[in-house]
Each structure stands twice: as C-alpha cells, then as structure tokens.
Amino acid sequence: NAGVTQTPKFRILKIGQSMTLQCTQDMNHNYMYWYRQDPGMGLKLIYYSVGAGITDKGEVPNGYNVSRSTTEDFPLRLELAAPSQTSVYFCASSYGGRGSNTEAFFGQGTRLTVV
C-alpha cells in the first residue's frame, strides 16, 4: 500500500527556474495539503484542497500554484524559484468526512534547494 507518494525526493534549482513537485495518494482521500518546513521550524500550510477542482490558499501561498484535477493528484508548482523557497516540502492527505479534518497522512518529503 503506497499511501502518499511525493517526487522527487531531492532537487536543486537555480534562481528563476520553475518546477513541479508531484504528489499522489491512493487512499481515495478528499483532502490534500502542501506544507513547507524550514530548519527547526514547524509546518507552514501553502495550499490545500477539499476535493477535485477545489483549492484554497494556506498561510504562505506566495510563489506557488496548485491544481487538483483528480482526487489522487495534487501537484505544487514553483514559478521563478527564489532562495527563500529552499525548504523541505511535505504533501499530506486525509479523508475529511462531514466537513471536518480527519487524520492526515504524509509523504516522505521533497528537499528543495534554490541556489
């Protein structure tokens, strides 16, 4: 059972480049999330989605875009990468029944460095 799968695990980008972080889940979860975690810090919510076709901004959305065309996939797009986007990125998903968050499960993370 795969759970939440993120790719790539590591990436180095040059300033101004773009990339897409992939996230897919096979648990038929409604809710999906993207977080970033800077060294020694907690998780900051970038974007989240409560179902296919629905996305919403979290705490730190600037510089990122998302889409949710299917239940399974929730890619995160970085346009014009900046050093401030150097971080570890986590994708997560949860069932989200009755309009409430249920337990979220995390992918392995993507360690991104912008130089």
Partner 1 sequence: QKEVEQNSGPLSVPEGAIASLNCTYSDRGSQSFFWYRQYSGKSPELIMSIYSNGDKEDGRFTAQLNKASQYVSLLIRDSQPSDSATYLCAVGSQGNLIFGKGTKLSVKP
Binding site for partner 1 (CB under 8 A): 31, 33, 35, 41-45, 48-50, 56, 58-59, 90, 92, 94, 96, 99-109
H/E segment holding residue 65: strand 64-66
CB of 56 to partner 1, least distance (A): 7
Q: Which of 1, 4, 2 is nearest to 105 (CA)?
A: 4
CB of 98 to partner 1, least distance (A): 9
Nearer to partner 1, 46 or 114 (CB): 46
CB of 48 to partner 1, least distance (A): 6
Nearer to partner 1, 27 or 43 (CB): 43
Nearer to partner 1, 75 or 109 (CB): 109
Nearer to partner 1, 69 or 101 (CB): 101
CA distance from start to end of the chain: 36
Dihedral in degrees, nearest 10, Cα atoms 10, 12, 35, 90: 0
Q: Which distant-in-sequence residues (6+ apart) come within 8 Å of 28 by Cβ?
A: 71
List residues bridging with 104 in a β-sheet.
Answer: 94
CB of 1 to partner 1, least distance (A): 16
